[in-house]
Amino acid sequence: MNQTKIGIDAGGTLVKTAYRKNETILYQTFSSYNLGDVVSWVYESFENPIICITGGKSQLLSEKLNDSAKTVVEFEATARGIQLLIGEQYESLKTNFLFVNVGTGTSIHHVNDMEQQRVGGTGIGGGTLMGLAYLLTGVEDYARMVQLASNGDRGNTDLKVKDIFEGALPPISGDLTASNFGKRESMIAQYPSASDILAAIIGMIGEVIVTVSSQMAVQYNVDSIVYIGSSFRSNPLLRDIIDEYTRLAGKEPFFLKDGEYSGAVGALLSLD
C-alpha cells in the first residue's frame, strides 16, 4: 500500500495542508496556535505518511511530529505550488509575473523563467486586520469581521480626493482615497459603526498592498500580479478593492483558487 504524501505550510497564523487522494489534491486548515491539532489529524488520518513542511513554524511542527519530516524553504515551496495552480487555472500566465502572498503580513516575489526572487513586502496583511479590528471594534472572529465589513460604508471614515476639492475638478480621480481614516470632522460628529470601521481597515490594507505591489511591478517590468493568501478567504471586499486598485495602476490582477495553499502544494510536490 502506497504511503500518503502530505505537504504542510506552517505559517504564523494558519497551518495549511495538501495531500493527494485519487489523484486529487485535498486541503485542510488548522490554527497555528494549536499545533497539537495538526499532529492529531496526521496520525489519526494516515498510516506512516511521508511529510514535507515549510513555513515559519516548520521547525516547531517537525519536532512535535517526532518524524523525519523533510523541510523546504517557504519561498521556493510557494513559487512551486503557484506554478502548478497557474498551469491549471491560467495557462497563458507562465512567466514574468509578480506573486503577492497576503498572509499575516505581505511578501512580494518576482517570477521569471521559472525562477523566483523575493523583491519586497510589507507588514500590512491579515494580521493587521485581526489586530486593528480587535483594537477598534472588539471583534475577534474573522468571519464576523468580514461579514460586518461587507455592510460598512467607507465614506463615513475615509477622506476622498473629491472631499478635498469640494466641487472643483481634481487632477486625479475624485473617488481615490486621499486619507484613510482621514474624515475626522465627520467621525467626531457621528462616530462610525463597527461595520464602517472594519470596511475602512480592509480598504486601507488593500490599498497599501496594491501601492507597494504595483510599484514593484513597474520596477520589474511586469504587467501581471498574482494575489494569493489566506487573507482572501471568504473576504470578497478585500479582493474587490485589490482588483480595482490594481487595474487603476495599469496592471492585471489574478486571484488563484486555493492560492492560500500554494506553500503546502509546493511542499507536497517536493516529495515527488
Rg (CA), the chain: 20
Active-site residue, from 23, 44, 63, 74? 74
The residue behind cell 505537504 is 7
Dmax over CA atoms of the chain, in Å, equals 73
CA distance readout (Å), 193 to 43, 146, 200: 46, 14, 11
| Catalytic site includes residue 74 | yes
- As a whole number of Å, the end-to-end CA separation of the chain is 17
2 Cβ contact list (under 8 Å, min separation 6): none
The Cα–Cα gap between 75 and 98 comes to 13
Q: How far apart, in whole angstroms, are the C-alpha atoms of residue 66 and residue 68?
A: 7
**Residues tagged active-site:** 74
